Structure 1
Amino acid sequence: MYHINDYSHNISLRLSEVLGDIGVNETMVMKRRKIHMLMETMNTITIRLNDRNETIFYPGSQSEGSTTLGLHSDIDILQCFNNFNVIQDWADWKKGKTNLLMIQDNNTTPGYCSLQQLGTNVPLPVTDVRDKYHIRDINGRVLLKNDIQESIIPEGGQIHGPSIATQVKDGFAATDSALALLCVSWPRSALDWLHYQESDVWPTQEIKQYAISSSCYVVPVGSKVSIDSQIEWRISTTLAERCLMFNLNITQLRCYVLMKMIVKSYLNLNGENNLSSFMCKSVVLYCVKNIESKMWKKCYLMQCLTICLLQLYNCLQREECPHFIIKENNLMAGQFTADEKYNLLQTINLLVQKGGLGLLGIKIDDVGQRLKIKLNIIPQAIHYPPSKLEISKDVSTHLYLNFSKNNNEFQKHILYDTESLSICIQRLMKYSKEGNKLEQSACRFLAPKLFTTLGSILASSSIGQSGSISHQALTWYSTGLKSSDVSDRLKLASMFYCTGDFGRSEITLRNIAQQFNNDVTVPLCSCYENHLRKPNPDFFEICNDQNESSLQQYIAYCVQFLQSEINCVPPELRYEMFRSTQDDMRHHRNEHLDYWMYWAVVDSLPFLHFLQYQIYSRLQKHQDQQQALNDLIWIIDTNENLRHKETDLNLLGQLMEQANRLQDALKCYMMSLQIRSRNNAARFHVCRLLATLASRRFT
């Protein structure tokens, strides 16, 4: 039995409560893991459906559950290209693959390797330097440089080590995307960790075997102490590390989170980043291995944290922090100047001497203030931070909005990239039948949009031929509609409207309006950057109480019509498919980000009121028609979460034209152009309207 004084016991318990309150508890950790594992599976399936042999992983703090809202952790994305064949033995060479021989010699930094280019058709080294991403070394070998990732940097991305970082978009988490190449087998330096036998020590052989069953990759970054860093690739065992993190208990995770907060609050100041989260992770893993498991309880949290800080202190003194799996890889090599090292050592020493009092200055997630309140150092009446329930709501909402936004983005990428939607659906169904539970769950989120889109394409074709919707089209659409969102129900109403079936369209719109809760439903879209305003408090309640499946009924994605669905689109909205001039196409559109501009895309709620106006006009329900117009104007004026307001204004302007309110129509178009001056159909509407006004003036 371990003996600790009452003060240490009390501060450990209170500190554990604080971490639990800010979201580092079993419930929220599992929720984070579930959502990010599901997103990485959906991302991989999206890519595979379009014949790209890649695998996506979301390693790091978000998927581990080792973060908080206040830490502002990026979503790490590992984009693994499986067409590359990174080998250690010639026997693993494969015809038709991009074969790369892993080289580790006396000139290579431990934990890194060079990649020699081999032939695709014959197992021989390549002798010619084919492009700027290859170089010949002093031994005459043609090596692949690690700056190859420059060729895949998205607009707005910046290279940070092996990663391509993109800034926060739409008020959601930023992403850190790293290119990775699959290794056929684990490097021998990493295998030493597996074969090192220790009895009754974490990680057990079972955990090691499970960890090493995951793939190993190389990522394009060289060591800071390398004499030729441009030809080095870092060996990444990130999936095995994630497995280890999944096997930590909640106290061990809390200790890691505290380490990251301490580094961010006291050690990495003035924009410095000498101590990384990965160093903290390695330190904590070593401590988990060396400290008896009985110590990792909430009543010993302060002692465990102190041991981790002392371990970090010792690593700094030696300037040696070994990678947990590849021990020869020194994570601190070349990281510090003498002055930086001295200052860091002094700060850590002071924190250890202060004990728990050193945590009182942490402002991240109000940890210091929360601890003061728990210890009765300050009265609760001064300022009480958000409660555990409020934090739980915030975390859940943040997670589910990120998930919903990514779900929408994955669906759009499938629709944009695929050449044959029916073949794509067949592949998805195969995943759903033969895949694991995670893949089956991912398919349930991706499939409805594909079904309804195929149904809409077939409907557009039959409307063009006969003016009606075919039975086959309705069957496909109905299949997807069973678990689809409000945007697809609006498309169905639009299909009926375009065939002149105003009665069925009205019924569909009435059902949508009854389900659409303005106080809860959140408009969501991933087309372009636009800050998301804070949802209604009721939405936070729903996110906390329900799961990602049931949440979809409270999300209103933008309504998207492909050009192949044009006969299902009201004439007023078809202009959006041709929004760009030739100059816009050449200079003001990014083909990778703005592909949706080939489509007609509109916010759900304004489109609902637009269709209501048109339907009630046809049915001679003038009072309902006026109410629909008033609702449309009110939504455009007051809803700050609309993502395609320029299109909403274009629709409103055309309704004003139909009502012969030409000055109001012109005002709508000018407001639309203020929002988006380029790639906006309002420019055509303005020209047409001015021509109409001019003709009236001279007649």
Structure 2
Amino acid sequence: MSNNIREYMAHVSRHLFKVLDIAGASEYVRNTRQQCELVGDVLASLTYGIEEGDVAIYTFGSMSEGTTTPGMNSDTDTMMCFQLYPVFETKADVTFEDMNTKYGKKYGDNDYTYFLMLNDGETPIGFCKLEIILGIVMEPTNPNFSLHVCMDINGRCVITNSCMVDAMDQDERNGPAATTYKRPGFTDLDYIPSFRCAKWPSVAEEFLTRKRKYGFPSTDMAADFASFGIFFVPTGHSDSLEKHLQWRLSFSLQERKIMLNLNPTQFKCYILLKMIKEDFVKAAVPGKSLTSYQCKTSIFWSIEKTHPSIWVESNLVACLVKCLHLLKIWIRNGFVPNFFMPPVSIWKGSKAICKMVTCIIDSILKDPIEYLLSLKCDRVGSLLRRSLETCIEVGQKRQEETEKSDNYFREAKRTLHLSVHRLHYSFSSDTSHMCVGLLHHVSSDDDIDSCIVNHRGLISFLRNTTKMSKLMFQPLNYVQQASECVLPFLLTSYGSQLASKSLLQPNAGTHEQAMAHLKTGQHSGYL
């Protein structure tokens, strides 16, 4: 590559970087989306955990990562993890110390119902069956699903992967998800039921031990990955005779951790890959072909294989080209390696689809800047063209063209501001709704002393944000923000309960406590 071409790509990269900010991929919007979704996860987990049983809520994909823009209309992927039934890889791993601590029980290991990962010759790598081991003690059931037990080909008692999705209200089945809100004007909402194993699986041991020349992911991050464990989502291998009994291993928490730590150039590169997928691949190739997850995988592998100094603003186009080159090679060979389990391919397209997608990517690589100038998503192509035109000396431009360009940028900024406003409004509305649900729960008992005890217990739990973070496997900073959202409502409600008791029982000595909690709650900025 000549110096002139390299300098021109750097010039376009800097303009493209700023254009993406206007289109909705700025660090402010990215962080706002992440905060709204991840704080909402913590609040939703609290609500579901109290009202529906032991269910943890996780939002994955574009919304929680902040890797979307107003024009993408991305899906919301919400995982509902049913934690009452833990998964273990082997019987040697079985222990219920955490369960006893969490639920305050003192049962023996034989009392709990749990699942064992079952891998045999009938199960492809990346999938497993879940053998059910019934406990003596009858656990409380969740009305959202029931376990369907079936005998596999080897005579083992396993649970079917349809037992949870089929029990949920949905418009359609989409892989492991039950898709709802499938109608005009709404973002598609995918509910993905799951179970969880607290231990990193041995089948993915290579990820933790492989040598990384450029230190990505970092040693500390990889250590966190191991502590997250993995999920099991209800979908089997499409070519397997026992696909209705298989569960796919999911590393969603690890993926989200990486995405939350991408630098601005890496983040914008992924945004561009998704836009290219939507505008040039999806529009030309029928059915399912290139996916956002495959684009994300190309980012992960590219970062691992390149020096960190490459991922800077002036190299945005060059980094995009590198990822597209990698995707082209993979898809041409019909094999896209999973980042956490490289022997597993995440490509599902036919040979005909491979050829079509490869041809499209090859065309883009021949003239990437021209294709970037043609992007329709969020008007990025037009904004980039106008941004580059402003570099021409003012004397060479007509006044009307300058005004037209300025109007175009103002309209793009207005669209973004409206989108951010809706984001803040939705977060405030959802937070208020969940706070009302929590208040209703702790105040549902007619006995005022019971209400006070319920309030005190929940307030104590919310103040121990470190424990909450470990139990929910959510980032500590988002757990702290969620706690700050809810505590004022609980404190004022708790103060009201104490004040009521002081009126009913004047000698109870609760008046001063009531006033203190009311003042603490009312002085918060969240009320």
Which TM-score bucket, shorter chain as reference?
0.7 to 0.9
Per-residue CA deviations over 1:587-642 (Å, capped at 9, x if unaligned) read xxxxxxxxxxxxxxxxxxxxxxxxxxxxxxxxxxxxxxxxxxxxxxxxxxxxxxxx
Equivalent position of 1:425 in the other structure: 455
Q: Secondary structure at the match of 2:84?
A: strand
Equivalent position of 2:381 in the other structure: 368
Give the aligned residue type for 1:104.
Answer: N
Contact 1:451 1:476 in 2 (8 A): no
Asked if 1:290 corresponds to 2:305, the answer is yes
Q: Secondary structure at the match of 2:373?
A: helix
Contact 2:200 2:227 in 1 (8 A): no
Equivalent position of 1:64 in the other structure: 65
The runs of 5 or more residues in structure 2 that have no matched partner are 95-108, 138-145, 391-396, 446-450, 467-476
Q: How far 1:170 moved relative to its partner?
A: 12
Q: What CA distance in whole angstroms lies between the structure 2 residues aligned with 1:86 and 1:276?
A: 29
Equivalent position of 1:120 in the other structure: 135
Q: Secondary structure at the match of 1:149?
A: coil
Per-residue CA deviations over 1:487-541 (Å, capped at 9, x if unaligned) read xxxxxxxxxxxxxxxxxxxxxxxxxxxxxxxxxxxxxxxxxxxxxxxxxxxxxxx
Change (3 A) 1:55 1:30: same
Q: What CA distance in whole angstroms lies between the structure 1 residues aligned with 2:240 and 2:519?
A: 57
Q: What CA distance in whole angstroms lies between the structure 2 residues aligned with 1:211 and 1:388?
A: 39
Asked if 1:408 corresponds to 2:453, the answer is no
Give the aligned residue type for 1:32.
Answer: R
Equivalent position of 2:105 in the other structure: none
Per-residue CA deviations over 1:273-325 (Å, capped at 9, x if unaligned) read 32221111001111111122222111111111111111111111111111101
Equivalent position of 2:159 in the other structure: 144
Equivalent position of 1:158 in the other structure: 172
Equivalent position of 2:10 in the other structure: 9
Asked if 1:443 corresponds to 2:513, the answer is no
Contact 2:197 2:231 in 1 (8 A): yes
Q: Secondary structure at the match of 1:58?
A: strand
Q: Secondary structure at the match of 2:164?
A: helix
Q: How far 1:247 moved relative to its partner?
A: 2.5
Q: How far 1:159 moved relative to its partner?
A: 2.8
Q: How far 1:427 moved relative to its partner?
A: 2.5
Change (3 A) 1:149 1:373: same
Give the one of 331, 339, 345 matched to 2:346: 331
Equivalent position of 2:272 in the other structure: 258
Aligned pairs (5 A) from 1:633-644: none
Q: How far 1:406 moved relative to its partner?
A: 1.6
Q: Secondary structure at the match of 1:197?
A: coil
Aligned pairs (5 A) from 1:231-380: 231-269=245-283, 272-332=287-347, 335-376=348-389, 379-380=401-402
Two-structure CA RMSD over aligned residues (Å):
3.5
Equivalent position of 2:75 in the other structure: 74
Aligned pairs (5 A) from 1:519-534: none
Q: How far 1:214 moved relative to its partner?
A: 1.8
Q: How far 1:207 moved relative to its partner?
A: 2.3
Per-residue CA deviations over 1:455-486 (Å, capped at 9, x if unaligned) read 778999999x9xxxx9989986995587569x
Change (3 A) 1:283 1:448: same
Give the aligned residue type for 1:250.
Answer: P
Identity %: 25
Per-residue CA deviations over 1:244-299 (Å, capped at 9, x if unaligned) read 12232110111111101111111113773322211110011111111222221111
Q: What CA distance in whole angstroms lies between the structure 2 residues aligned with 1:267 and 1:273?
A: 10
Q: How far 1:398 moved relative to its partner?
A: 2.7
Q: Secondary structure at the match of 1:224?
A: coil
Asked if 1:95 corresponds to 2:110, the answer is yes
Aligned pairs (5 A) from 1:612-651: none
Contact 2:59 2:76 in 1 (8 A): yes
Q: What CA distance in whole angstroms lies between the structure 2 residues aligned with 1:237 and 1:194?
A: 13
Give the aligned residue type for 1:432.
Answer: L
Q: What CA distance in whole angstroms lies between the structure 2 residues aligned with 1:166 and 1:476?
A: 44
Tell me which moved more, 48-57 or 305-314.
48-57
Q: How far 1:380 moved relative to its partner?
A: 4.6
Equivalent position of 2:231 in the other structure: 217
Change (3 A) 1:373 1:483: farther
Q: How far 1:339 moved relative to its partner?
A: 2.8
Aligned pairs (5 A) from 1:494-533: none
Q: What CA distance in whole angstroms lies between the structure 1 residues aligned with 2:428 and 2:511?
A: 27
Contact 1:16 1:298 in 2 (8 A): yes
Equivalent position of 1:396 in the other structure: 420
Q: What CA distance in whole angstroms lies between the structure 1 residues aligned with 2:45 and 2:8?
A: 50
Change (3 A) 1:166 1:474: farther
Give the one of 102, 106, 110 matched to 2:121: 106
Equivalent position of 2:87 in the other structure: 86
Q: What CA distance in whole angstroms lies between the structure 1 residues aligned with 2:147 and 2:226?
A: 35
Q: Secondary structure at the match of 2:110?
A: coil
Equivalent position of 2:204 in the other structure: 190
Q: How far 1:45 moved relative to its partner?
A: 2.2
